[in-house]
Amino acid sequence: MVQSTPEPRKERSQEFSGEAREATVPLPAAASGGPVSHAIFRLARLHRMFAGQLLRRIGLHPGQELVMMHLWELGPQRQADLVRLMDSDAATMTRSVRRLEQAGCVCRRPSPTDKRASLIEPTAASHALRREVEQVWSRLEDLVTAGLSAEERETALLTLGRLERNLLRATAEPAGTGADVDTGADAEVDAGADTDDGGPSALPR
């Protein structure tokens, strides 16, 4: 059985306490040269916090839901394949899979094509959790994009995609050579592509 102890549903206004503020962390003078980067830091921090609160209600830690999403969609996977899909590392993935196994969400079986490897697959019990995970992500999306029009949401996705591609290009460049930034010329082409197989948060360490 999947171990899950959801909390009673709260009213929308009481779900998350605290009054709205302009920024959770003020921009220090030393970071004045990187206001966008500091905004991303603040947003990621809050995003992970709210994701963690929502996921704990269904018995998961941040990042575990992403592993389950891939397994539900793709079926049994080697751990090495999950590392690649999640852009994670072996040690972190080992811990995450072990916790999911202990919770009854996944199990292991020998690979029919590689005697040295085992396959990680979602348990039958875990499929009951899928709907709850989908609801968590929908709720998180509502929190993040509250007040935005459909056009503003699309613009946000395009902008975030460009920022991501800039960093991906930077990581691919040899050290010290600099990297070309996204000018937006290919934004429409890439808009429909899956550019991020991450989520509210990184895998728990």
What was the pLDDT predicted at 168?
Answer: 92
Q: Which of 23-27, 126-130, 185-189 has the lowest mean pLDDT?
A: 185-189
> How far apart are the C-alpha atoms of 86 and 66, rounded to whole Å?
8
* pLDDT bucket at 16, cuts 50 / 70 / 90: low
Domains and CATH numbers, the chain: 35-170 (1.10.10.10)
Please say if the pLDDT value at position 176 is more than 70.
no
Please say if the pLDDT value at position 11 is more than 80.
no
Average pLDDT, integer, range 65-94: 94
> How far apart are the C-alpha atoms of 142 and 138, rounded to whole Å?
6
Work out the end-to-end distance of the chain between its first and last CA atoms, rounded to an integer number of angstroms: 24
- Cα angle 21, 13, 19; round to 5: 15
Pair of tokens at residue 83? 């590392």
Please say if the pLDDT value at position 110 is more than 80.
yes
Q: Give me the chain's average pLDDT, please.
A: 81
Average pLDDT, integer, range 6-12: 45
